[in-house]
């Protein structure tokens, strides 16, 4: 199964995911990140951070960026993610 990494980009920079997840495909990785955003955002709001300025960079095991998923996409329910590579 392919491995995907979910790096978190904030105003402070990139928080790299060094562990990743084995998932069926890139679409599953996208949906996993999309579904995690509301819960993560609630935690960030409690810490006085604005999660609307955050995004996931989802990469494959060799580091190629497959998706950039802004938190606003999941929070506003408007698909705007950019597929960079298939």
27-83 pLDDT, tens digit each: 999 999 999 999 999 888 888 888 999 999 999 999 999 999 999 988 886 555 555
| Boundaries of domain holding 62 | 3-83
The domain total for the chain is 1
Residue among 55, 66, 57, 56 nearest 2 (CA): 66
List the one residue out of 40, 36, 62 whose CA is nearest residue 50. 40
> Which has the higher per-residue pLDDT, 23 or 85?
23
Phi, psi of 78 (to 5 degrees): -120, 110
How confident is the model at residue 82, as a pLDDT? 57
Reported confidence tier of residue 21, pLDDT bands at 50, 70, 90: very high
H/E segment holding residue 67: strand 65-70
Q: What are the beta bridge partners of residue 6? A: 58
Rounded to whole angstroms, the Cα distance separating 56 from 17 reads 10
């Amino acid at each position: 199964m392919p491995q995907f990494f979910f790096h978190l980009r904030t105003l402070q920079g990139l928080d790299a995911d060094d562990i990743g997840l084995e998932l069926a495909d890139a679409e599953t990785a996208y949906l996993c990140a999309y579904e995690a955003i509301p819960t993560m955002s609630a935690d960030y709001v409690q810490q006085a951070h604005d999660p609307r300025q955050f995004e996931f960079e989802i990469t494959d095991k060799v580091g190629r960026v497959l998706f950039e998923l802004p938190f606003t996409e999941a929070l506003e329910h408007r698909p705007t993610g950019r597929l960079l590579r298939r």
